[in-house]
Amino acid sequence: MLEIPWEPLAVTSRPKPVAEPRAAAPSQRAPGKWAVTDETRSEARADAAMDRYAGGQESAFSDLYDLIAPRLHSYLLLKTRDESATEDILQQTFVNIHEARGRFLRGARVMPWAVSIARRLFIDSKRRHKRECPLSDEHAETVAKLVAADAAPDLQLASQRTARQIAEALERLPPRQREAFELVRCMGLSQAQAAEVLGTSALAVKLRIHRASDALRRSLSAVLNARQL
């Protein structure tokens, strides 16, 4: 089932649609001592699969793919806005993981590492092509699909319009804030994992997400008010 990337923005009945970071949906909450979420379990399975693959069990690569590829694909699609570029980078990410499997530390977490490789490959590819990717209708449509997949048909049009506005608002965020927001809110990484990927502290990530949420709230307040009526 598709999950809604910006859960607080997609729920219309809440009085304050853009909630504080702590009020995120359970699946987006940072894995904690008391909260064993689906994503935590899935990550633990992915870590175990990577461990088996590093140990030489070839079939574990397929399990690893099934567990982490969908999230990496979504992340890359948000970044590249292009399906074929996304698939190329995804493929290269898995080839890199395969090549370095023998160096994977026992008990290490695979997801932040995989995201870090994918992110770097995306940056390299962007540098190589040296092209700007303006927000296209296709991209807005992709975001709309992600946001509105589970919505009732009569709400889909409104959701798509909102999605377009969300995509535009995200586009306007400073790159650091946008990246932290995408990793935590859209990818479901914990703040600590996002900090690892971005090479910064968890506190800095928390601050960036807070600022990004504030900026998004401001940008989208008109839309949200309209939806609450």
Partner 1 sequence: MKTELSPDLKAKILEAALSAPSATRHEQQRRAFWYLSGALAVSALVFMFAGGVRVSGRSPLLVLGTALGSGALASAVVSVVLSRGRSMIGRSRVTLVSVALTAPVALLAWKLSYSARFAGALEAWPARPGMRCLALTLAIGALPLFALLMRWKKTDPAHPRAQGLAMGAAVGLSAAALVDLWCPVAHVSHLLLGHVLPIVLLASLGCWLGARLLRSS
Footprint of partner 1 on this chain (CB under 8 A)?
2-5, 54-56, 58, 61-62, 65-66, 69-71, 73-75, 77, 87, 90-92, 94-96, 98-110, 112-113, 116-117, 120-121, 124, 146, 186-188, 196-201
d(CA 99, CA 37): 31
CA distances from 170 to 156, 163, 165, 176 (A): 20, 10, 8, 11
SS3 call for 1: coil
Q: Which one, of 148, 205, 228, 222, lies nearest residue 21 by Cα?
A: 205
Nearer to partner 1, 110 or 212 (CB): 110
Residue with Cβ nearer partner 1 (130 or 154)? 130
Closest approach of partner 1 to the CB of residue 148, in Å? 13
Least distance (Å) from partner 1 to the CB of residue 131?
19
**Are 27 and 188 a contacting pair, CB within 8 Å?**
yes
Q: Which two tokens stand for residue 216?
A: 């998004």
Instruction: Tell me the closest approach of the beta carbon of residue 128 to partner 1, in angstroms.
Output: 10
Q: Which of 220, 154, 222, 229 is nearest to 9 (CA)?
A: 220
Shortest distance, position 225 Cβ to partner 1, whole Å: 25
Cβ closer to partner 1: 37 or 200?
Answer: 200
